Amino acid sequence: MRRSANQDSYCITLADDREKWERSGHLLIVADGMGAHAAGELASRLSVDLIPHHYAKLNRGDPVGAIHQAMEEANSEIYRRGQANPEFRGMGTTTSALLLLPAGAILAHVGDSRIYRLRGQTLEQLTFDHSLVWEMRASGEVGEEMLRNNAVPKNVITRSLGPNPNVQVDLEGPFPLQNGDRFLLCSDGLSGQLTDEEIGILLGSLDLDMAVRAMIDLANLRGGPDNITVAVAEIRGDELVTKSVLPTPPPEDRPSYPIGFGIAGVVCALAAVVLLMVKQIPLAAVSVAAAFVAGISGWIKMMKFDSSGDRSARLGRGPHRKAQCKPSADFVKQITGVIQELQEWMVESGVQVDQRELDAAIALGKRETAARNYKQAIQYYCEVLTAMMRNARVKADDRDEESIDY
């Protein structure tokens, strides 16, 4: 509502056959650019163009390693383009990538664009915001009261693709896929205006298309201070449900026994033999014990390396936040209040609507509310909300004002 340029970008790359699904899965990305002179727009567009390209090229049976390296390659290219043009210097973009694989959902993430999973009525934020407020809260530097008082600015990003030659990419997952799971990726234009509970209720109560439209409409009606991008996916069909784990690295990639510990063990064992030959029994016993310790230490170290290098191990610490999102009378009341305010504005602005159609949907919403069928009531009221916003856009286009596009 307040920006003339859209610096958000997104892409959805779907596997079009079983073989590609098993090898590479489905890939969804949302990016939110930062920088003046169209630099943010360029950075986010480069991100969503380069990452799928590098991921497809690099994936040789290790999708986790491939998406991680693809993010790093994209960062290097965005940085190089920024350094080559003074107007683009320092440009950056948040980037959140979701891989849906047979082994589960894998996330690669930099910045504060979020990825959520809705399972039943529980919404989980799977990504950690790389923002000043989240970093300070995680370190214990600020309390909840300071956060409520907005003592720490919420829009300061601590990590993004592009401004620096190197970047730390967070990996999360795998999160097993179940039938009915819904995933949502969004820029902070949405998460900054809607609470997690509101996002979860709308995502769980509506079909995917209506959910996206209703969320964007509600965020815009609250001021729409930033660009809004939303991508959603639903797991449908038993063939997508997680049944296996990610493959371990090939044998040649696995760490071998640490050579230093092996040499120390052999030397101590040989020393023990020589000392026994010259009848130095106490010293020989010490050498045998040292050889034993070296051997055990090397085995323990190898096991630690092996477990950390195993791609089937869990990555990251997500979910980082959870919210219960049950449709309620309070949420219905909130939506009807928004509709009433929008109706008043439309009357004042002379926006024409099919009042009979809207009144019919509102009557159905009231009936379902009275019967405590809140999910159904939300569906009716969101139909009203999106229809009214559609008419508002037509009016804005007629006046040659900025329109709101999906």
Q: What is the pLDDT of residue 256?
A: 46
What digits encode the pLDDT tens for the residues 8-39? 999 999 999 999 999 999 999 999 999 887 89
What pLDDT, on a 0 to 100 scale, did the predictor assign at position 180?
97
Give the pair of three-digit tokens for residue 69. Answer: 């390296």
Q: Which of 72-81, 128-137, 212-221, 288-297 has the lowest mean pLDDT?
A: 288-297
Mean pLDDT, rounded, of the chain: 86
Q: How far apart are CA 171 and CA 270, in angstroms?
A: 46
279 — pLDDT class (breaks 50, 70, 90): confident
Is pLDDT larger for residue 117 or for residue 279? 117
- End-to-end CA distance of the chain, in Å? 13
| Helix (H), strand (E), coil (C) string for the chain | CCCCCCCEEEEEECCCCHHHHHHHCEEEEEEEEECCCCHHHHHHHHHHHHHHHHHHHHCCCCHHHHHHHHHHHHHHHHHHHHHHCHHHCCCEEEEEEEEEECCEEEEEEECCCEEEEEECCEEEECCCCCEHHHHHHHHCCCCHHHHHCCCCCCCCECCCECCCCCCCCEEEEEECCCCCCEEEEECHHHHCCCCHHHHHHHHHHCCHHHHHHHHHHHHHHCCCCCCCCEEEEECCCHHHCCCCCCCCCCHHHCCCCCHHHHHHHHHHHHHHHHHHHCCCHHHHHHHHHHHHHHHHHHHHHHHHHHHHHCCCCCECCCCCEEEECCCCHHHHHHHHHHHHHHHHHHHHHCCCCCHHHHHHHHHHHHHHHHCCCHHHHHHHHHHHHHHHHHHHHHHHHHCCCCCCCC
Bridge-based pairing state of the strands 114-119 and 104-110: unpaired
pLDDT surpassing 70 at residue 96: yes
What pLDDT score was predicted for residue 324?
Answer: 98
Total number of residues shown for the chain: 406
Whole-number pLDDT of residue 294: 58
The pTM for the full model equals 0.81
> Rounded CA gap, 266 and 298, in Å?
12
CA distances to 47, 53, 362 from 11, in Å: 10, 12, 36
Q: Give the per-residue pLDDT at 249.
A: 45
- Give the residues across from 117 on adjacent strands: 124, 183
Report pLDDT digits (tens) over 202-222. 999 999 999 999 999 999 999
**Backbone angles phi and psi of 34, in degrees to 5:** -135, 135
Instruction: Report the C-alpha gap between 238 and 240 in whole angstroms.
Output: 5
Q: Does residue 307 carry a pLDDT above 60?
A: no
Mean pLDDT to the nearest integer, 91-101 = 98
Sheet holding 170-175, edge to edge: 8-13, 26-34, 92-101, 104-110, 170-175
Residues 347-365: what's their mean pLDDT?
A: 88
- As a whole number, mean pLDDT of residues 347-368 equals 89
Higher pLDDT, 296 or 282: 282
Residue 323's pLDDT is what?
A: 98
pLDDT at 311 over 50: no
Quote the pLDDT of residue 267. Answer: 63
Stretch 74-87: mean pLDDT: 96
Lowest mean pLDDT among 26-35, 129-138, 236-245, 254-263: 254-263
CB-based contacts of 202, cutoff 8 Å, min separation 6: 194, 211, 214, 215, 218, 378, 382
At residue 88 the predicted structure's pLDDT band, cuts being 50, 70 and 90, is: very high
Q: Are 9 and 16 in contact (CB under 8 A)?
A: no
Is the pLDDT higher at 120 or at 310? 120
Q: Is the peptide bond before 327 cis (omega within 30 degrees of 0)?
A: no
- Whether the per-residue pLDDT at 148 is higher than 70: the answer is no
Angstrom distance (rounded) from CA 109 to CA 94: 8
- Give the per-residue pLDDT at 251: 42
Confidence check: pLDDT of 56 > 90: yes
Residue 309 has pLDDT above 90, yes or no: no
pLDDT at 253 over 70: no
